[in-house]
Amino acid sequence: MNILVTGAAGFIGSNVVRVLLEAGVQVRAMIVPDENQRNLEGVEVEKVEGNVLDPPSLDRALKGCDTLFHLAAIYSIWKKDRAIFYKVNLQGARNMLWAARKAGIEKIVFTSSVAALGIKPGKELSDEETAFNQFRFANDYVLTKYLSQEEALTFAREGLPLVVVCPGFPYGEGDIAPTPTGKMILDIVNGTNFMYFTGGLTVVDVKDVARGHLLAAKKGKVGEKYILSHKNFTIKDFFDLIAKTAGVRKPFLWSPVLAAKIFGALMEKMAERSGKPPMTTAREVPYLSQFFFVDNAKARRELGMEFTPVENSLQRAIDWFRRVGYISR
């Protein structure tokens, strides 16, 4: 395989690049001009400049490639300029898919998210066939991941050899942004968040997500979705595990969802003024107050996915945050 990886300098993308290189394939990393390439330091990989909002650059980046891993996206719960989600996550994906079709790419792994799936009532497990039902609570990231996933599946129905992977909330080394999941961990360890509300989420080691991408390229069926997530937690149980792993006390106080939603709205107002991302938002609270639990049986069965114990990978993530100075205590 001669592979192009978009979003190659990102959190998941850089791990995908490493997994592919370890597998002995030819990899080309697409980098946005002036992008932070810290995650690719020490990695010997061919780099090419490209931007999903610049279609001619995509044609150049794909030249000579037969396989595409499309990971370029904005992963955030908030941006001052909301339009960036729709430009990059939706129109950018559309541009990339058209370029791949024109280039005659033989296999595409399209990175979606569990956020693009629906949430079942109570603690019932969602799977790849659970229809999206979060229009009421979806923030711009969630909505654009769903819309871009539907675009990708439409291309697959029209003959593009495309497989969709849906990672859970990823964590691990190299989360330089940090992502919303990494920020959640840091807020607990640094003591800036001491509250939780009823709800649940599904988490996964970023290295497992990267391995899942390679397995999807090898074994995934065209037009199918595969959940790449490991374990479901209530918010409180995940917070408790973070605190225990980091060796910090856990004075977590339960908050009613309405109070947490009001707090999220205040955080957004402050973010509008400061330009710094908020701890949470008024939309994220009711979204996470559902139990977003998923079933990974299909990925285990059809791709052969295996997962790293959460305690081990969470320890690695916290150790990395300490080494690079993201943890202040």
How large is the average pLDDT for residues 235-263? 92
How large is the average pLDDT for residues 61-76? 97
Q: Report residue 279's pLDDT band, with 50, 70 and 90 as the boundaries.
A: confident
- The more confidently predicted of residues 1 and 127 is 127
> How high does pLDDT run on average in the chain?
96
Whole-prediction pTM value?
0.96
Q: What number of other Cβ atoms are within 10 A of residue 80's Cβ?
A: 11
Q: Say how many CA atoms lie within 13 Å of 117 toward its Cβ.
A: 30
How large is the average pLDDT for residues 91-113? 98
Task: Kindly state which CATH superfamily the domain 2-172+204-230+294-307 is placed in.
Answer: NAD(P)-binding Rossmann-like Domain (3.40.50.720)
Could you tell me if 302 and 163 are in contact, meaning their C-beta atoms sit under 8 angstroms apart?
no
Q: Report residue 276's pLDDT band, with 50, 70 and 90 as the boundaries.
A: confident
Written as six digits, the tokens of 129 are: 């066939």
Per-residue model confidence (pLDDT) at position 277: 85
Q: What number of other Cβ atoms are within 10 A of residue 310's Cβ?
A: 18
Residue ranges covered by each domain of the chain: 2-172+204-230+294-307
Confidence check: pLDDT of 250 > 90:
no
Could you tell me if 32 and 54 are in contact, meaning their C-beta atoms sit under 8 angstroms apart?
no
Confidence check: pLDDT of 251 > 90:
no
Taking only the tens place, the pLDDT of each residue in 107-158 is 999 999 999 999 999 999 999 999 999 999 999 999 999 999 999 999 999 9
Q: Is the peptide bond before 180 cis (omega within 30 degrees of 0)?
A: no
Per-residue model confidence (pLDDT) at position 328: 85
d(CA 317, CA 156): 35
Core vs surface per residue 215-225: b (16+ CB within 10 A) or e: bbbeebeebbb
Could you tell me if 110 and 162 are in contact, meaning their C-beta atoms sit under 8 angstroms apart?
yes
Per-residue model confidence (pLDDT) at position 126: 98
Of 43-52, 146-155, 254-263, which range is least confident? Answer: 254-263
Taking only the tens place, the pLDDT of each residue in 198-228 is 999 999 999 999 999 999 999 999 999 999 9
Per-residue model confidence (pLDDT) at position 39: 96
- What are the C-alpha distances in Å from 221 to residues 50, 156, 199? 28, 11, 33
Confidence check: pLDDT of 307 > 80:
yes
**Among residues of the chain, what percentage have pLDDT more than 90?**
93
How large is the average pLDDT for residues 20-48? 96
CA dihedral 278, 264, 93, 4 (to 10 degrees): 40
